[in-house]
Amino acid sequence: MSRISITPLILLAMVASCKGVSETGGKWPPKDFVLGLQYTVVKGEVRQVRKSAKIFADGLVVYREAATTLRSRDGKLELPVYSRMCAYGMKWWSIRDLTRLLHDAPVLELADPAAAPPIGEETHLIRFHVTYMANHVDVVAQNQAVGLLNRVLRIVNTFLPPGHGITMPNMAGEEMEHHLQDVPVVTDSVAGALKFHEGWLSEHATNSALLLDTFSLACAAKNWPLAENCVTVLATSRPADVAALREILADCKAAAAEKPGD
């Protein structure tokens, strides 16, 4: 398949500017298409989300990586700090190709694969979920991605930033040609990632997952008012987490006070 150009987007731009898809008619891409991938590593009782990718029907792609995690004192609430990321808008033909390739795979036949033994002391998890045409698939793979899931992951990765992607260790399969050109580089910037999440949140003000992601970045950036506001909004949708969030915020403030020059 030939390479497809996209328009590079500045990380700090508002989400509205990321939309690259125009109305074309037909069923591809489905208007309700939403795809999500999350890669997590578990070691002992510690879970750390390392990577996340989200792709939407309007062509918006948000790829994120987390090097650190904020944890509540009891360890029950763990929040990735997505400081490395890029966002871009695919042209309509690119999101059309992705949705058709997944449908033909066929992605709707995915089921939870058999779990493989841990790799050393670590357990690797990939959660894949997709919604379109009133269908919903949500599966979790442990330590290996084989068969149909392997094919689906490799397809999705050809639409993510080159050199990045979401895979299991030692995942087999020949490398597939990347579908996009001019994809923006993954930028490592807490301030930049926070600015993007603030813009994203302006369009999805009550989305709990997005509020949690913004909260963790606000804590990392020492933006205490924004972190407090996220907790206030989350008190409605996730009241059971409020105490843990306030603990995390208090601990981040205390750590910042100990290192005022950082």
The reported pLDDT for the residue numbered 20 is: 46
Domain 4-182 fold is Mago nashi protein (3.30.1560)
The reported pLDDT for the residue numbered 169 is: 86
The alpha-helical segments, DSSP class H, found in 166-259 are 190-203, 208-220, 224-237, 242-258
CATH of 189-262, one of 1.10.287.130, 1.25.40.10, 2.40.30.10, 1.10.3720.10: 1.25.40.10
Q: Tell me the C-alpha distance between 61 and 65, whole Å.
A: 14
- Which tokens belong to 145? 């991605």
The reported pLDDT for the residue numbered 171 is: 84
The reported pLDDT for the residue numbered 24 is: 52
The reported pLDDT for the residue numbered 163 is: 92
CA proximity to 167, closest of 179, 149, 188, 185 = 149
Q: Tell me the C-alpha distance between 23 and 35, whole Å.
A: 20
CA atoms within 13 A on the CB side of 110: 28
Q: What is the residue extent of each domain of the chain?
A: 4-182, 189-262
Sheet containing 60-65: order of strands = 135-142, 122-132, 34-43, 46-56, 60-65, 84-89, 187-188
The reported pLDDT for the residue numbered 222 is: 98
Strand partners, 132: 135
The reported pLDDT for the residue numbered 34 is: 98
pTM as predicted: 0.90
What is the residue-level pLDDT of the chain in tens, covering all 262 positions? 333 434 334 344 433 334 444 455 579 999 999 999 999 999 998 999 999 999 999 999 999 999 999 999 999 999 999 999 999 999 999 999 999 999 999 999 999 999 999 988 999 999 999 999 999 999 999 999 999 999 999 999 999 999 999 999 888 777 789 999 999 999 999 999 999 999 999 999 999 999 999 999 999 999 999 999 999 999 999 999 999 999 999 999 999 998 876 5
